[in-house]
Structure 1
Amino acid sequence: MKLPECEFIQVVRSTPLISIDLVVKDTNGNYLLGQRTNRPAQGYWFVPGGRILKDESIKEAFIRLTMEELGVSIPESQAKFIGVFEHFYPDNFSDSAFSTHYVVLGYELLADINLDSLPKGQHTQYGWFSKDVLTVSENVHLHTKWYVQK
């Protein structure tokens, strides 16, 4: 269930959000990243992912998020759980008046995805990044680097 924006602002201001990040690798070992259009982490290269909604199970959220972010429904059973991460941002989706705190469930999955087929809702562009390039790039967000440095 998605909340009206005014209610969601209060949630973000008051509580951590729970989300799923999708660490997608291709058969060559490269990582799929998208350049974020929205706050927080706007403008940075980041892994696909999103929030778990109220009354939505993790399994349901996983299928929804893979469809929304990758254009294909993938069940959670086809991914490897890599851990729980915390992300702290100084801004939020609406402005910079207060911070955002995420508790993130990280999942790694293997998928050779055509970049041209990916949805453009959350990212302006996509790319496949090697671990070496990803870890040294100033344009790749620190939280994304954590996933490959584990």
Structure 2
Amino acid sequence: MISMICDMIPTEEYKIMLEKLAIPCVDVVVENSEGEILMIKRSNEPAKGQWWLPGGRIFKKETIKDAAIRKIREEVGLELTEVTVVGAYETIFDKGPFGIESGTHSVNVLVKGSIKSFDNMETNGDHSDVKFFRDVEESWHSYLKEAIADARKK
């Protein structure tokens, strides 16, 4: 995701945005037929090395649904359908990309969607792995625990 954003917004300008603004994002909950949640392992800050929901920045004039479809396609190579908004959350991190010491703040719209086939699932260069989890792990960020619980109620 960082490389795509930087292609659209010069890196120095994006760094200033991250230092000054909360960034609108979409995070996507997808379950397989066994009820396991699709997660990606982040390669970049914030949350580098941690399992996280697929998702990312919402672009200007992009709907939440379209952003969710784009992020699933970009991050795991799959086609998302039946997108439903679960709720709005926020995440605040002490670390940010590009060595930002002031951290990052995002407003996260959580959606739940369906995937017809997981046959061609693969991660992009911004993530080191993609995996399904049945249970929420104790070490996960509090946002993930709350968001996944809320999505499973929908």
Report the TM-score range of the alignment, normalised by the length of the smaller protein.
0.7 to 0.9
Q: In structure 1, the residue corresponding to 2:143 is in which secondary structure?
A: helix
Identity of aligned residues (%): 27
Aligned residue in 2 for 1:141 = 141
Number of paired residues?
A: 143
Instruction: Name which of structure 1's ranges 122-131 and 24-33 shifts more when overlaid on structure 2.
Output: 122-131
Distance change (3 Å), C-alpha of 1:72 and 1:126: closer
For 2:110 and 2:55, how far apart are their aligned partners in 1?
A: 9
Q: In structure 1, the residue corresponding to 2:70 is in which secondary structure?
A: helix
Aligned residue in 2 for 1:34 = 40
Aligned residue in 2 for 1:119 = 123
Aligned residue in 2 for 1:13 = 19
Q: Which amino acid aligns with 1:128?
A: F
Q: Is the 8 Å Cα contact of residues 27 and 110 (structure 1) preserved in structure 2?
A: no
5 Å-filtered alignment, 1:9-88, equals: 9-75=15-81, 78-88=82-92
Deviation at residue 96 of structure 1 after TM alignment:
4.2
Structure 1 stretches of at least 4 aligned residues deviating more than 3 Å after TM superposition = none
- TM-score normalised by the chain length of structure 2: 0.83
Gap runs ≥5 in structure 1: none
Q: Is the 8 Å Cα contact of residues 39 and 130 (structure 2) preserved in structure 1?
A: yes
**C-alpha deviations, 1:66-86, integer Å up to 9, x for none?**
2102313435xx122110010
- TM-score normalised by the chain length of structure 1: 0.85
